[in-house]
Amino acid sequence: MIAHVTDGDPMQIANSPLARKLGSFVRLTETELKTLEELHHRRRRFVAGRDMVHQGQSGQSAYVLAEGWVCSYKMLPDGTRQIVDFQIPGDFLGLRSILFRTSDHNVEPVTRIEASEILAADLLDAFQRVPRLATAVLWAASRDEAMVVEHLVNVGRRNSEERMAHFLLELSARLKLVGQGDRTGYDCPLSQYLLADALGLSAVHVNRVLRTLREQGLVTFLKGRVTFDDFDGLVDLAGFDASYLDQNGPLLR
């Protein structure tokens, strides 16, 4: 599962996905960037399809995703699963796993990934030395919680077309923040089976919904690429309000 370990690149840290993400909340200083660089020293590679964090596992490290996509999911007693969220570059993986005694979910790479391993002691030491960084990470965790709340509304109250539209728009906003998407679209490695597990639909229904949205001239998801044919129309259909993502610029300077 682990291919190799490499050192972080100090020249790249300011433009890393994590720095770009945290920088939307707090204007990062040189000291804070240096601390982020230190947290990136244990770089590891993981292959797709093999869990890197297991539900019920104890003594687990956290990770910062640098490249690739990951999903977090819960397994049900009957063998089915519910994908709670997808993680993209700049996101923390298993952050609760180093604060709780055991991990409460599984983490599986969707693609081949690179991630920086973070030990609990390293993270707590960084927070003690650089309190503003701790505040920024708390913001990121709170934002993730807000997304989970929105996902609950998505599955429980929106119809299938609205559900898919909202999901694709949320991914767009998240990817735009780390420089990997814009209003025209973004690359997306998610299969219809993964979308089904995340949105509470069958794979057949996912296919039907995507076809409907394409025929309505709103969005095309083809060959690993989401293309917005009518971005504003898709926003209207989903009733999408990105304020819960809190990406309007640094609050702390």
Q: What is the pLDDT of residues 27-74, one digit of tens each?
A: 899 999 999 999 888 899 999 999 988 887 777 788 999 999 999 999
pLDDT score recorded for residue 5: 41
Q: Give the tokens for residue 204.
A: 């057949």
What pLDDT is stored for residue 248 in this prediction? Answer: 73
CB 44 within 8 A of CB 116: yes
Q: If you average pLDDT over residues 7-36, what whole number do you get?
A: 82
Other C-beta atoms closer than 10 Å to the C-beta of 219 total 23
Domains of the chain: 5-143 (2.60.120.10), 157-245 (1.10.10.10)
For residue 19, is pLDDT > 80? yes
195 CB-contact burial (10 Å; exposed 0-12 / middle 13-18 / buried 19+): buried
Cα separations (Å) of 121 from 62, 111, 126? Answer: 11, 29, 9
CA atoms of 31 and 129, how far apart (whole Å): 10
User: What pLDDT, on the 0 to 100 scale, is given for residue 252?
Assistant: 60
What confidence score (pLDDT) does residue 250 get? 67
pTM of the model: 0.90
